[in-house]
């Protein structure tokens, strides 16, 4: 059973039955048939269909954003931005897919050689609730351009978003069966991964789930792209523009109510500017408005589920008990809804919970360091390696320091964000493989070498 539970009111809005084994079986058969035909379509024809998906997303922005806000509590302005970003990504790949997938000649003295990019087949996409449309579209737009099909297993708390994806793709005249968003119970995922009609798997989710999916896909010899957890550092060096850094830090931590893998979570600040940074950071946090996510003035909505809020509060309590200084927030808010006050913890030590664990919600941990080397060492002192932000006035030094930071992306004097033009993904326990950019569209391709000898 799947249900829409409004996290702002704690009201069950709708319930849905899981898809039956017969429905899943039919979807797999249809996807395989449709994908084989789709792969034979000219690339520019496939790209035109992906462009139409973007058009439909924009036409239905108000409706789709409303579903996101209803099911997982994202402030409505951010939900609309999610739809707009998804549409832009469709347009981007529609324009650039032919360039990214063009045959590549390999110089040779003795023969003709080149590399081609063929589709893999039907990809199983296991997607999370925190960006219900964007997470799927950033996979689907390049994957469809490359000639693949998809079966979507979405998170259990966003069933209406999952079903809306079917109607969006149908309205865009995506071939029937090529993409199917199904309501699938977690216990049924292993059988899907093992099914011969699934060629590869992509997952965005927790590290724990990633390890499980990786083991299942590995046994089945299926290609995987895994985008998992993160504890991103936001490094502020002594020569940084502290005011600009503090302003960006508020957005970096508290967008989507802090429920993002690439949210900055550990604010590693040179002691020389730490007091100034914390003061300005806390001033920015104080301006955040917690409340009804359908109100356009709201900047912090509810957390998606009550258990997530409970775990976050436990992390805060354990960190404060270990000696951190609570500068703001630190408590669940009274009344209906899974609201948690925007929280800032200062003087967090590297061995405290908020520094060691991923905090998936509106909580920021400030760690103070004495110099650049200590900042880089602390940034790397985590099992995760998704993104990192580095704030400094010395760009030449920054370009050298990024080589020492263990992350899939480092943003200098900016906050970490995904961008259709750039590869996105992590290292260490944050996963492997890349989405987006030229690299992302090739992840679910058979990179085939072709060697041509003389005619006989």
Asked if 161 is an active-site residue, the reply is: no
Chain-centroid distance of CA 16 in Å reads 25
Name 431's bridge partners.
227
Task: Output the CA torsion 324→326→332→338 (10° steps).
Answer: -80
How far, in Å, CA of 27 to CA of 119, rounded?
19
Please count the other Cβ atoms lying within 10 Å of the Cβ belonging to residue 161.
24
Q: Which one of the listed residues 227, 358, 406, 435 is annotated catalytic?
A: 227
The DSSP line for 417-428 is ---TTS-B--EE
Asked if 227 is an active-site residue, the reply is: yes
How far, in Å, CA of 362 to CA of 341, rounded?
7
Long-range CB contacts for residues 306-314, cutoff 8 Å, separation at least 24? 306/10, 306/338, 308/259, 308/338, 308/360, 308/361, 309/338, 309/339, 309/340, 309/361, 311/360, 312/340, 312/359, 312/360, 312/361, 312/363, 313/340
How far, in Å, CA of 393 to CA of 383, rounded?
28
Chain-centroid distance of CA 136 in Å reads 9
Q: Which one of the listed residues 90, 161, 261, 282 is annotated catalytic?
A: 261
Count of residues making up the chain: 456
Q: Supply the residues annotated as catalytic.
A: 227, 261
């Amino acid at each position: 059973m799947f249900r829409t539970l409004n996290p702002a009111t704690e009201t069950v809005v709708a319930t849905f039955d899981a898809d039956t084994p017969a429905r899943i079986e039919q979807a797999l058969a249809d996807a395989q048939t449709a994908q084989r035909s789709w792969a034979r379509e000219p690339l520019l024809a496939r790209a035109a269909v992906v462009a139409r998906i973007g058009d439909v997303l924009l036409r239905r922005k108000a409706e789709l954003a409303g579903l996101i806000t209803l099911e997982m509590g994202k402030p409505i302005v951010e939900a609309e931005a999610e739809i707009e970003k998804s549409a832009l990504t469709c347009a981007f790949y529609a324009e650039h897919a032919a360039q990214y997938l063009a045959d590549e000649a390999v110089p040779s003295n003795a023969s003709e050689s080149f590399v081609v990019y063929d589709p893999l087949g039907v990809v199983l996409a296991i997607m999370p609730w925190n960006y219900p449309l964007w997470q799927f579209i950033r996979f689907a737009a390049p994957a469809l351009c490359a000639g693949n099909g998809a079966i979507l297993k979405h998170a259990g708390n966003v069933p209406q978003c999952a079903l809306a994806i079917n109607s969006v793709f149908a309205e865009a005249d995506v071939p029937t069966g090529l993409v199917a968003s199904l309501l699938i119970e977690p216990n049924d995922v292993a059988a899907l991964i093992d099914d011969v009609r699934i060629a590869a798997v992509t997952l965005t989710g927790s590290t724990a789930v990633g390890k499980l999916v990786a083991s299942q896909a590995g046994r089945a010899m299926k290609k995987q792209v895994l985008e998992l957890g993160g504890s991103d550092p936001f490094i502020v060096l002594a020569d940084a523009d502290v005011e600009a850094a503090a302003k960006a830090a508020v957005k970096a931590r508290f967008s989507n109510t802090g429920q993002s893998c690439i949210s900055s979570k550990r604010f590693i600040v040179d002691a020389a500017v730490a007091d100034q940074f914390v003061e300005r950071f806390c001033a920015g946090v104080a301006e955040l408005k917690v409340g009804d996510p359908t109100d356009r003035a709201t900047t912090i909505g509810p957390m998606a589920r009550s258990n997530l809020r409970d775990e976050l509060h436990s992390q805060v309590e354990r960190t404060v008990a270990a000696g951190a200084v609570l500068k703001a927030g630190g408590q669940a808010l009274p009344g209906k809804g899974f609201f948690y006050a925007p929280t800032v913890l200062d003087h967090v030590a590297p061995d405290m919970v908020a520094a060691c664990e991923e905090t998936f919600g509106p909580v920021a941990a400030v760690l103070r360091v004495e110099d650049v080397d200590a900042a880089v060492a602390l940034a790397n002192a985590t099992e995760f390696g998704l993104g990192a932000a580095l704030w400094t006035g010395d760009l030449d030094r920054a370009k050298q320091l990024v080589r020492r930071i263990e992350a899939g992306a480092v943003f200098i004097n900016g906050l970490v964000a995904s961008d259709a033009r750039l590869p996105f993904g992590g290292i260490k326990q944050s996963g492997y493989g890349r989405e987006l950019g030229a690299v992302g569209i090739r992840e679910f391709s058979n990179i085939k070498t072709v060697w041509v000898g003389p005619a006989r």
